[in-house]
Structure 1
């Protein structure tokens, strides 16, 4: 695994006129090329660490795999000195991604499908029916999640520059947490961990993210069978549309004792 943080010199200024130079700790951002059977599929910019979880979660979100049994092996490529190329072999009988899925460009938090037509396309390709999930949550449990997420963000404490995604149960117990420069990567790492542990679908679980709730994050949660997505910031309009269509609960602006419930309010007790 590569370095998660690096030190860089910085000039620190203040309005009082004070000036000083000092080293600052930054979160590392490096490319990861994902290959399937030796064939490049995509490149994503990520923070090194939990790369196998990241790739498994990404492939699950793209519909390439549905369980750990669909993965024959994952390994860093031996033809490179850097651990920035990861090759996946799929199990026998699992079809490889076709050329239309190949992404010869860097994946960012702004990438992915968008538009109402995307929701229509996802309707016919949902591995789990989250609308039937009977989980119920109290506002008190939800209100406690941001702080429980924040207190476990070890790399954020050192850099201030990472997103986090945490998986919780209905009582607010943290089950898994991952950090990354990309919020979509952090979610993929959590989902990939769950897939490799044989935990999909993630029925009765809550996905808490440290930033906003985008369409892409909502789609990743839906593909993993997660009924509740909560975010400390705002959702996008398309995220709300997808959550409502899929029967998910979407909570935004989860800060302190207040929150906005944009979809699936029936799961919130009281």
Structure 2
């Protein structure tokens, strides 16, 4: 399944019009189904549908389930694969089979805390919901030089294969204190890109990610801080701006939040001591 789709466009420059080929980022739904229960009474339930760019779907599913508190370790999973019987949906359904002894708290998937910016919950309620799933504020001795952050936008951009073709896709990149990129994942959705990255780290037993930072290609909403907190990430940097609730949650989590990381500058909104001066 391709992450780009060819189209024919009309390009207008001044009064001149020409027909030209172009590429767009693919956006398709992914339904995540969960297989659970004792061996003699297995059940299946659809837990989420997200609009994503196809690719790394297994990582996306695992990252989503981990950051929602449904799974805690790779051993919780028996298998994670596309449902071949749903041929009409062409690879857009993925089923995660849990071990029989893994309990499922469905309230974590129905709380609807992060579905939109108008969910009606106050900031304190939102933060308390995440704190109940985490070990508490993040402890890390990570220290980053400003020059490392300055270099990240260009460094990540050179790895963005899908962005190079379409110009319309987000990236999440895991980096260490030297600025080395360990993982980069792309998706048309910011939250999906981060879920893919966390899912990849989860499957490799890297969690918690207390020795690393994540760079995001867009703005920072509260759901991205929530996912970072669940993964134990001490530093979150992004090209764009954070929201007020994202900053509030980062302060509660002891996450260093850096925004507007571009053009040799950035702003720090919380926990500035992890960036050397």
Change in CA separation of 1:100 and 1:255 when aligned onto 2, cut-off 3 Å? closer
1:73 corresponds to: 79
SS at match of 1:240: helix
2:91 maps to 1:90: no
SS at match of 1:43: strand
Structure 2 matches for 1:75-224, cutoff 5 A?
75-81=81-87, 82-98=90-106, 101-102=109-110, 115-116=122-123, 117-127=125-135, 129-130=137-138, 132-224=139-231
TM-score (normalizing by structure 2): 0.91
**Gaps in structure 2 of 5+ consecutive residues:** 36-43
Change in CA separation of 1:171 and 1:124 when aligned onto 2, cut-off 3 Å? same
2:37 maps to 1:30: no
Runs of 4+ in structure 1 over 4 Å off = 107-114
The offset of 1:147, in angstroms, is 1.1
Partner Cα separation in structure 2 for residue 20 and residue 212 of structure 1: 34
Native 8 Å contact 2:69 2:108 kept in 1: no
Change in CA separation of 1:114 and 1:256 when aligned onto 2, cut-off 3 Å? farther
Aligned equivalent of 1:46, options 41, 52, 56: 52
The offset of 1:76, in angstroms, is 1.0
Partner Cα separation in structure 2 for residue 39 and residue 228 of structure 1: 35
Native 8 Å contact 1:228 1:250 kept in 2: yes
TM-score (normalizing by structure 1): 0.93
SS at match of 1:34: strand
Change in CA separation of 1:19 and 1:32 when aligned onto 2, cut-off 3 Å? same
The offset of 1:3, in angstroms, is 1.4
Native 8 Å contact 1:45 1:108 kept in 2: no
The number of residue pairs the alignment matches comes to 265
Native 8 Å contact 1:204 1:227 kept in 2: yes
